[in-house]
Amino acid sequence: MAEELIGGDKLYDDEFLEKQRRLRKKSEEAVLKATVDNQDKQELTVVIADDQELVRKGFKLILSSYSHIKVIGEAQNGTEAVERAKELRPNVVLMDIRMPLMNGIEATEEIRSFPELKDTHVLILTTFDIDEYVYDALAAGASGFLLKDSEPDDIVAAIDIIAQGEALIQPSITRRLIEAFVGSRVRSTKKSNVLEVLTEREREILLLVARGQSNDEISEVLYISPATVKTHVARIMGKLDVHDRAQLVVVAYESGLMS
């Protein structure tokens, strides 16, 4: 069988039509899977902080298309970001670095200083090539960073990761940035002996975390279960008084464990 082309006398052959049907079926399955996946996810609340209204509206439009993401507030400067965080207590704050009144680094540090906001995580927005303060943001308590021109699915994946208390340190670009900025700084003698509270195994795991490896990857390297790795990581965080893996990376570099 063949089908006439609209506006012409050429014909679609059966092979072409079959390919089209397969493509249509694949697309429908992908949409269905995305719908099911989003329905299974817990709702996450987000505040967007950026001094450019167009950027804020753009992110809001993108995030609102995902059923488990709810944008509950916006801020046009760091001061407002802190106020919205205290008022709304979102799961995640998308934070620009360069903003008036109070920049994103100062706002991040302020948010992380409030015990009642311990479950609010900060995801820094950056243009990468001009934001030399990414490391400072991580040191201030941000859980990771994201390029402003990232794909929508990557943005949502980052929010999902951050909201779970994990850190967005897996991409090699993150490690390169941390290495560049930490390598340019003089290590603090105050933190040089901070790792003395850790056991040899805990130092070993901290080193692997600093290299950006996941719990599953660490378990394969050390021949222990992912659950055991998770327990070790939680214990390390408690001993070092840090709140997520991003801060473990900072400590590993500043202490001299990672170079």
For residue 225, pLDDT over 70 is answered with yes
91 and 195, same domain (yes or no):
no
How far apart are alpha carbons 30 and 16 in whole angstroms?
A: 21
For residue 8, pLDDT over 50 is answered with no
- CB neighbour list of residue 191: distance below 8 Å, 6 or more residues apart: 251, 254, 255
Please tell me the predicted confidence (pLDDT) of residue 5: 42
Any idea what the CATH number is for the domain that residue 158 is in? 3.40.50.2300
86 and 141, same domain (yes or no):
yes
Please tell me the predicted confidence (pLDDT) of residue 189: 47
**pLDDT, mean over the chain:** 79
For residue 87, pLDDT over 60 is answered with yes
| Residue 92 β-bridge partners | 46, 121
135 and 91, same domain (yes or no):
yes
91 and 208, same domain (yes or no):
no
Please tell me the predicted confidence (pLDDT) of residue 4: 47
For residue 210, pLDDT over 70 is answered with yes
Residue 49, domain extent: 43-168
Please tell me the predicted confidence (pLDDT) of residue 69: 94
Q: Is pLDDT larger for residue 62 or for residue 242?
A: 62
Let me know how long the chain is. 259
Within its chain, how far is the Cα of 103 from the centroid? 19
DSSP string covering 117-176: GTT-EEEEEE-SSS-TTHHHHHHHT--EEEETT--HHHHHHHHHHHHTT--B--SHHHHH
Please tell me the predicted confidence (pLDDT) of residue 75: 96
- pLDDT (mean) for 137-156: 83
Domain count, the chain: 2
Residue at 127 is within a domain: yes
Q: What is the pTM of this model?
A: 0.63
143 and 206, same domain (yes or no):
no
Question: Which of 168, 199, 215 represents a domain boundary (last residue)?
Answer: 168
Any idea what the CATH number is for the domain that residue 193 is in? 1.10.10.10
